[in-house]
A and B are shown apart, each in its own frame.
Chain A
């Protein structure tokens, strides 16, 4: 069954810890810090200095993937060995950047007609501006993290990384349908630095994961 193999793949990828995160920040200092923090979470990190560069990189990945996907490509081609290390599992972007802001990048990614819109996006900022936060969450950001970042903030990203490994179709359909609701009700402060969208249908993140018991068995 497809779902079972997805779960097995997920479990395997979790163990191999091949999450690939695209980190976007115009400050070289912040990029260094982000890279180190994410590596601590066993992520492969690609850092870019602007929203434009981020889009450029995503384009390059798409081109590579479409070139290397042969006629033998099946539904699980996105998780085949040569592409495993390349596929972006999460984008983490600073909010305030010259030129294209983190918000603009978020909008572009979420508004795209390609697989980009399914990539979880996390926005980070040094400023705690409620309207900015709800704007980003409403646009589809998974989390809004406040700087300075601590290791514990990034551990919270695990569920989103996991989600990205299972086929997007199954997950995103049920987790993004809250768009019409008043999202302010769903915004919950988890701790001082992390503000996250609570999904009305399944409040506990673990419930969103497919069959956790089977994961343990595998």
Chain B
């Protein structure tokens, strides 16, 4: 019981921290509301798809920026998709960076785009770590029930 209470408190505090620091916004809460007995792993599943999607998109962006002649429209298309999925998951900081990135694509500034991609990768990896920690806590909570 003690372990459980402690874990649950950690989970609450970590979620609050992620919200406060802007990693996540209200939309994440919307996703959590969709998790129920019929879809007990919904958030983890959807986040997992998000991770796969994101990594693909980040690699696509990198590839597009490495071309001899950079097609900024192509880069923008990838960023647009990433912005969409990060907004849908509630990943606020990542989403905001995508908005900035799109501006650089429009300005066709290669240097700024490359810099932005670097920031985006970093921000994304931070988010990934934070969410993985959150899910680990959830797993421990479930294990504690048994």
Contacts and interface: CB of A to CB of B under 8 A. Distances in A.
A40 B42 CA distance: 12
A189 interface: no
Contact of B49 (A29, A96, A150): A29
A28 B49 contact: yes
A30 interface: yes
A30 B85 contact: yes
Interface residues on A, range: 10 to 19
A12 to B, nearest CB: 24
Interface stretch (B9-17, B27-35, B58-66, B127-135): B27-35
Given A96-B80, A126-B83, A30 B33 contact: no
A174 B63 CA distance: 52
B46 A33 contact: yes
Nearest to B52: A28
Given A28-B49, A96-B80, A36 B39 contact: yes
Contacts of A40: 34
Most buried by A among B33, B45, B50, B88: B88
A151 interface: yes
10 contacts: A27-B85, A28-B49, A29-B50, A32-B46, A36-B34, A37-B34, A40-B34, A147-B87, A147-B88, A148-B90
